[in-house]
Amino acid sequence: MKRAALLLLPLLVAAKFAALSIEPYGDQVFDLTTGVTTLPQGGVIHDNENDLSIDAEYVEYKEDAFVLARAAKSEATGVRFAAEQLRYELAEDRVRLEGGVVLDTPQVKALAARSAWIFLGEGVAVLDGGVKAMSPELEAAAMVSDYRSGEALLIPPYRYQDAQLGLTLSGKNPEKPLYLRFDAESGEVAASSKAPVEVKTRLLGFVEKAKKDRQVQ
């Protein structure tokens, strides 16, 4: 019987499973059939290898496989993000966010979208659907950002408020994303319709990965 396959684990201050450190807020329920552990009251998940922490109201995880979290707040290498649902695929070093996504990167604050993908190993974030931010002020169909190098592309249609030039840049041609380069020291942003070929090719590759992942789902 399925109920016989469920074990109520004792409350632990921190239970370690492979690369993850688990700090539950309440009970832990382990399903012997699926190998999935559920934290009904939520908890905090730490992955020291990727400098990733997840704090959520509800969690499911499977050793060396995935973490599924709801009403989740997370941080990885200086990037903070939150969403209604988060799924972390350990083998792929990839986090998928769905619903009410908000990101804060070293370059962009209060960056919102309907969904997002964080490629932890490469330091790249892809946001899709109603992308908006207040600092700098921008809107786009999608955005891909290398938050380590400070380079990003706004996928048309986009609108970007260029504070340095004092004007609004916009574009609708899907072949011409807007290239943004953030200066780490001054915080100033340089915008151009001509992205370096190697940067454009690399970053658009992550957009394609995100599209394929969405189609599989």
Condensed to tens digits (0 to 9), the pLDDT of residues 121-148 reads: 999 999 999 999 988 899 999 999 999 8
**Confidence category of residue 217, pLDDT binned at 50, 70, 90:** low
Q: What is the pLDDT of residues 18-72, one digit of tens each?
A: 578 999 999 999 999 999 999 999 999 999 888 899 999 999 999 889 999 999 9
- Given a cut of 60, is residue 116 above it in pLDDT? yes
Q: Single out the residue of 43, 87, 83 nearest to residue 65, CA to CA.
A: 87
- In 25-177, which ranges are E strands? 28-31, 36-39, 43-47, 52-62, 66-76, 79-89, 94-104, 111-119, 124-134, 137-146, 151-162, 167-171
- Pairwise CA distance, residues 60 & 70, whole Å: 9
- Pairwise CA distance, residues 210 & 214, whole Å: 6
**Eight-state DSSP code of residue 195:** -
Are the CB atoms for 185 and 170 separated by under 8 Å?
Answer: no
- Pairwise CA distance, residues 110 & 180, whole Å: 17
CB-based contacts of 111, cutoff 8 Å, min separation 6: 102, 103, 104, 105, 127, 131, 132, 133, 143
Q: pTM for this one?
A: 0.86
